[in-house]
A and B are shown apart, each in its own frame.
Chain A
Amino acid sequence: MLLKRKEFLQVGSLATASLMLPKFLKAFDGKTIVPPGNKVLVVLQFSGGNDGLNTVIPVRNDIYYKSRPKLGIEKDKALLLTDEAGINPALPAFKELFDEGSLGIMNNVGYPNPDRSHFRSMDIWQSASDSDKYVYTGWLGRYLDAQCGGCAKPTQALEVDDILSLALKGENIKGLAVKDPKRLYNTSHEKYFKQINAAHEPGEETVDYLYKTLSETLSSADYIFEQSKLHPSSQIYPSTETGKNLKTISSLIMSDINTKVYYLGLGSFDTHVNQVNQQKRLFTELNDAISAFVKDLKSNNRFQDVMLMTFSEFGRRVAQNASGGTDHGTANNMFFIGGGLQQKGMLNAMPDLTNLNEGDLIHTIDFKNVYATVLRKWLGADDKEILGKQYDYMNFI
C-alpha cells in the first residue's frame, strides 16, 4: 500500500500530489527510504587546470623544490599523508579522509599527445576521445544512451549548473542541467509552455524531438523539485557555490530520485599568476564543502554508496613561472572519496620528476582506464560500448 502510493507520487506531477508529498514522507525516518547499494557517482571538475604538484606534494623530492623555489610547499607546511607525500595545507578534511581510509589518490593520470588548450583538453576528458579525434558526445552522455533507452525520466544524470556540459550529452539522451531545482521549477511552470506542450500533435520528426525535450524538461523539473524538498538536509553547509551545490546534490541523494550521476564544477584553477592565494581560496571552498558533504552522507548512512571523483583538464608544468604561478602542463592527480573504495590511500607511485617530457610530467595512467573502472565496477555499465574500446580495469573499486 505504502509503496504503491509512493510510486504514484513519484510518477505523478499533479499539483495535489506534490503538495501532499513532504508531509506524507515526513512520517518516516529518511534513512530507510533509499535501498542500500544504489550507487551514486559525483564528478567534480576542477576547471582551469589545477596544479597537481601543489595539491599532493612530493615532500621529499629535491627536484620539486628546485623547480619551485617560491611556490614549493615546504614539508612542515604540508599535511603529511605518507613518508613522501603531503597534501595542500588548505585541505585538512582530505587529510582526515585519507587517514580514515575514505580517500584514494591516483597520480599521473593523463592521455597520449596531451593538448594544452583548456577547451580542447576539457573536450578530450569529457568526451573520452583520443586527442586526435573529435567526438560530439560525452562519456556520461553515452552512459545514458546505453543505460536508459527506456527511462521514463531523463534525470539519471544531473549537472548542477545552468548549462549542460559535453560530458553529459549523449547521442540520443542528454543529462539535465539544474542549478537550482526551485528556479528550474518556476521557469518550467510557465503555463504557456505547459499548454503548448500538452497540445502538440506529433508529425514532423524534428519538431517532435524538440517537444520530447520540452516535455521531459517540464516533467523532470517537477520531479526534481519535489524530490529536492523531501529531505532538506539538516547538515550545515558553507554558503559558497560548492557548498550550495553539494547541498543540492545531497538532498537529492537522500531522496527517491533515480539519479545515478551528479556533475559539478569548481574553478578557475588557471593559476598563471599569484597561484598561492587563488589555489588556497578554491581549496578552502572545496575542503569545507566536502567536509560537510561527507558528514551529511555518513549521518544518513549513504557514504558507502556514494563515490566522488575529481579531475582537471590538465596539470601544470613542474617549474614555476616568473609571475608566481605555473603554466599549462600535462598529467595530474585524481581524488576518489567514498565509503566503498576497495583500495584507499595512495593508489600508485608519485610522479617521476626525473623523467619529464620538456618539463612536463609523463602520464602513466590513461584516464579512460579510470572511466572504464568507474563505469563497470561502480555503475555496472557496459564500459566497452560507452568508451568504444576495452580498457583494462583498475582495482580501487
Chain B
Amino acid sequence: MSISANQLKNQHLLWRAAFGPMAENANQLQEVSQKELYTLLVKTSAKNPEPFNVAGNLFDGMVKGIQDVGRMQKLSQDEKKMLRKQSVDDLKNLNLTWLSEMINSEAQMREKMSLFWHGHFACRVINIYFQQQLINTIRANALGSFADLLREVSKSPSMLSFLNNQQNKKQHPNENFAREVMELFTIGRGNYTEEDVKEGARSFTGWGFNLQGEFVDRPFQHDTGKKTFLGKTGNFDGDDIIDILLEQKQTAAFITKKLYRYFVNDTPDAGKVNWLANRFYQSGYDIQKLLTDIYTSDWFYSDKNIGNHIKSPVELLVGIRRLIPMELEKPEAQLLFERALGQILFYPPNVAGWPGGKNWIDSSALMLRMRIPQILTNADDFVVKPKDDDDTMMGMEGVDTKPKARQVNVKVDWDAVTKVFDKTPKENLVQKIGDLVLQTKSKISPTILDKYIDKNARDAYIKTTIVELMSTPEYQLC
C-alpha cells in the first residue's frame, strides 16, 4: 500500500469514528496501520467521561428549593420565566462545552458516538437540568451496552417529559412515549400495530419524574391489568416492554442499519448490515463490539465508502477546528453557525433527530459552509442572519433584525499547522496539503489553486492553500 493510500484510510477512520485528524498528528498518519489507530481510539475512549455540569447556581438553587412537580405549578409567572431564561442560557453553555470536548477531548470515539446517540435519542426540552443529565447518560453509555442506554434514556426526565409520559396515567393513557420508543428508538415503523402502541402505553403508565431529575414510578397511576404486546401477554410494566423490545432481533437490525448509514455509507449494504446486526444481537447489544466489527473490516476502507459522507454542520465546524487550532474571542459565534446551518445541539428538529445527508445542503447553506473557513480565519465577515427560534426566545423583543456584518475574531495558531509541513519541499506542498484536507477523489485543480495562493512567504502559502481547499464542495465530504 502506498503511503498516501494508507494515510487516506487512516483519515477515513478518523473522520468517521472521530472528528477528523489534528494537525499535530498529521505526520504519523502515513506510517501507522488502521488496526493500530483503531486500538488507540478504543484506548483513549475507554475511561468513564467526566459528567458535564454547567447548570448555573440560580437554576440549581431554584430547582433544589422545589420538592415536586406540584410545587412547580405554584411558581409565579416571573419565576417560571426566569427559570426558562436561565435554562436557555445554560443550554448555550452546555452546547459550547460539548463542542469543546469534541474538538479537544482525546475520547474522540466516545464523543462521536454520543453525537450519534444525541440524534437518535433526540430530545428537545428547555430544561438544562434534564438535558444535562440526558447527555451525561448518553456519554457514559455511548460505547457500552445499547440495552442499558435504551433503558436509562427511557427513564430520563428529559425523554419522559418530551414524550409526555408524565401525563401517561391509568385513567388517561398517553401514547406518545410508547409509540416513539418503538418507531424511533428500537424496531422502527412497520414492525408493530396500533394495538401494540396502546398496550405499550398502558404498560408505561406511572413512569414519571420529579424536579430533582429523578425517575419515579408512580404505582397509583400504573395500569396493573393484563396487556398483550408484540404477541406476549402478561401484567407488563415499562421495564417488561423494554425487555420485549430488546428480545426482538429487529431492534438490532434497526439500530445497525441506522449506524451503518451514519458511519459507513448512506446506501446500506444489506448483506453487511445483516451480518453486523446478528453479531450485535448475539453480543447482547455491545456497541463497542459492533464498532470494532465495522472499523476493523476491510470493506469499511473500500473506495466506495470513502469521502462520500456529507458532514453535519457540527462535524464540519469541529473538523476545521481540529485541523487548525484556534481560539475564538467569542465562542458563542459558533452557535450562529449551528443555527444558520441547521444543527443546534440540544435543539433537534423533532424526536426523529436530524435527517442528515443531502438534507444539510441547499443553496444558502452550501454558500455559507464554503465561506466558514474564511470567516474563521478572519478573511471574511459573517453576514447571515439565522432565523429566530420562538421556542427559546419566548417572544422577546429587541432582537436585532438587521443582518449585521459580524467579525468573528479568532486567534489561529498557524505555527502548529505550518510545522507539519516543515520537511515538505515547496513543490510538493499543494499535493501534501490536499491529501490531508480532502477525502474525495475529486481534487481542486492546481492551476486554479495557484491563482489564489499567497506566495509571499512559506507560512502564507500553506495557510492560504488550506483555507482555499476547505472552501470547496469537496471539503463538505468525508
Contacts and interface: CB of A to CB of B under 8 A. Distances in A.
A163 interface: yes
Contacts of B359: 136, 169
B444 interface: yes
A174 B473 contact: no
Contact of B364 (A117, A162, A211): A162
A119 B310 contact: no
Contacts of B371: 187
Contact of B361 (A165, A213, A271, A273): A213
B367 A134 contact: no
A15 interface: no
A204 B364 contact: no
Contacts of A213: 361-363, 366, 473
Given A188-B367, A210-B473, A271-B395, A196 B445 contact: yes
Interface string B343-363: 000010111100100110111
A37 interface: no
Interface string A250-269: 00000000000000010111
B422 to A, nearest CB: 27
A49 interface: yes
A206 interface: yes
Nearest to B358: A209
B362 A134 contact: no
Contacts of B361: 209-210, 213
A318 B246 CA distance: 45
Contacts of B476: 210
B401 interface: yes
B308 A205 contact: yes
B184 to A, nearest CB: 8
Contact of A161 (B349, B366, B387, B393): B387
A241 interface: yes
Contacts of A210: 310, 361, 366, 473-474, 476-477
B389 A119 contact: yes
A383 interface: no
B391 A204 contact: no
A397 B385 CA distance: 35
B91 to A, nearest CB: 14
Given A117-B124, A120-B350, A164 B395 contact: no
Instruction: Report the contact-size class of chain A (Cβ under 8 Å from the partner).
Output: 35 or more
A118 interface: yes
Interface stretch (A80-88, A97-105, A175-183): A175-183
B88 interface: no
A123 interface: yes
A265 B387 contact: yes
A20 interface: no
Given A177-B362, A207-B473, A210-B477, A163 B468 contact: no
Contact of B363 (A49, A118, A177): A177
Interface in B388-411: 388-391, 393-397, 399, 401, 403
B157 to A, nearest CB: 17
A270 B442 contact: no
A217 interface: yes
Determine which residue in A134, A200, A203, A220 has the highest number of CB atoms from chain B within 10 A of its CB, and name it: A134
Interface string B4-18: 000000000000000
A180 to B, nearest CB: 8
Interface residues of B, number: 58
Contacts of A134: 350-352
A322 B390 contact: no
B307 interface: yes
Given A117-B391, A213-B363, A272-B394, A206 B308 contact: yes
Nearest to B397: A278
A155 B201 CA distance: 46
B268 to A, nearest CB: 15
Given A118-B391, A123-B350, A265-B387, A164 B362 contact: yes
B358 to A, nearest CB: 6
A196 B394 contact: no
B403 A272 contact: no
Nearest to B445: A199
Contact of B395 (A179, A200, A278): A278
B370 to A, nearest CB: 7
A164 B363 contact: yes
A269 to B, nearest CB: 8
Contacts of A265: 387
Nearest to B357: A206
A119 B358 contact: no
B393 A268 contact: yes
A209 B342 CA distance: 19
A36 to B, nearest CB: 30
B384 interface: yes
A162 B441 contact: no
Contact of B468 (A192, A211, A271): A192
A48 interface: yes
Interface of A: 47-49, 117-120, 123, 132, 134, 136, 154, 161-165, 169, 174-179, 183, 187-188, 192-193, 195-196, 199-201, 203-207, 209-211, 213-214, 216-217, 220, 241, 265, 267-273, 278, 321-323, 325
Nearest 8 Cβ contacts at the A-B interface: A270-B395, A210-B473, A118-B390, A134-B352, A217-B363, A177-B364, A174-B362, A136-B355
Given A268-B399, A270-B393, 6 more contacts: A123-B349, A163-B342, A164-B365, A213-B363, A321-B77, A322-B77
11 contacts: A119-B391, A123-B350, A162-B364, A163-B385, A179-B385, A187-B371, A188-B367, A192-B452, A196-B445, A268-B395, A272-B394
